[in-house]
Amino acid sequence: MTDQTMYVILLGPPGAGKGTQAVQTAERTGLLHLSTGDMFRENLRNGTDLGNLAKTYMDKGELVPDDVTIRMLLERIGRDDAKAGCLFDGFPRTVEQAKALDVALTEQGDEIAVTVLIDVSNEEITRRLGGRVSCATCGSVFHEIFNPPNADSPCCDSIKMIQRDDDKPDAIANRLQVYADQTEPLVEYYTESGKLSTVNGEQSPDAVGVDLLAALQAVSS
């Protein structure tokens, strides 16, 4: 699966498990994992103008404006390490972003191979986001109950886990609404272009990973 250009989108509500699956699937397939949320958070840590701008939206659980997000993403996929294909996690999140991505890939003679929807109910999402923590050093994601950090061999030899500001209850409710209003229309968008594949996200992370890999294999032969 590594010797061809393959662009894959992971779609799903906040907390569906996109990041968790993207990390594992990138390792297995050699695809480059690109998370727009991670890019914004990295800019924020580095104190860039882009990071400071993004923060004003992220804190409220709103989307960063399309023009800014699209420019950042297109610049990133133009770099050499992304030329062999990527696994998009958290992008696109609006129809405008999806269209901009389609245009850019068409211009370079490529297209999306498949968009995989990780399907999870709102109740499960609230449980997942409420317990999500990440390593203060490397950002690896854990869950206080479903995927706790290992006390015997802590991540980065550190026991410090932090909760994202936007994983607090008020921001979670808003993010679910923003998903329903602005991102869920992408399910129809990719269904119409025949690119949508849905996996049941309410299984163990390993079982979701098996289904995800099968969805990629179905389009890569």
Pick between residue 19 and residue 201 the one whose CB is nearest to Zn ion.
19
Residue 20 binds to ligand ADP (criterion: CB under 6 A): yes
Q: Is 164 a catalytic residue?
A: yes
Name which position in 8, 9, 17, 189 contacts ligand ADP (CB under 6 A).
17
Site for ligand ADP in 161-220 (CB under 6 A): 166, 175, 204-205, 208
| Torsion angles phi and psi, residue 116, rounded to 5 | -105, 120
Residue 40 binds to ligand ADP (criterion: CB under 6 A): yes
Name which position in 8, 11, 43, 93 contacts ligand ADP (CB under 6 A).
93
Q: Is 18 a catalytic residue?
A: yes
Task: Calculate the alpha carbon distances from 171 to 5, 58, 88, 129 in Å.
Answer: 37, 9, 23, 10
Among 18-26, 94-102, 129-137, 146-154, the segment contacting Zn ion (CB under 5 A): 129-137
Residue 105 binds to ligand ADP (criterion: CB under 6 A): no
Pick between residue 125 and residue 155 the one whose CB is nearest to Zn ion.
155
Task: Calculate the alpha carbon distances from 81 to 30, 36, 58, 139 in Å.
Answer: 11, 16, 27, 21
Query: Cα(136)–Cα(205) distance, rounded to whole angstroms?
Result: 22
| Torsion angles phi and psi, residue 85, rounded to 5 | 120, 160
Q: What residues form DSSP beta bridges with 118?
A: 199
Query: Cα(49)–Cα(122) distance, rounded to whole angstroms?
Result: 34
Residue 74 binds to ligand ADP (criterion: CB under 6 A): no
Angle value at C-alpha 127, between 121 and 128, nearest 5 degrees: 85
Query: Cα(25)–Cα(213) distance, rounded to whole angstroms?
Result: 7
Work out how close the CB of 152 gets to ligand ADP at its nearest, in angstroms, rounded to a whole number: 19
Which of 41, 93, 128, 195 is labelled catalytic? 93
The residues carrying an active-site annotation are 18, 93, 132, 164, 175
Q: Enumerate binding residues for ligand ADP (CB under 6 A).
A: 12, 14-20, 36-37, 40, 57-58, 61-64, 69, 90-91, 93, 97, 128, 131-132, 141-143, 146-147, 166, 175, 204-205, 208
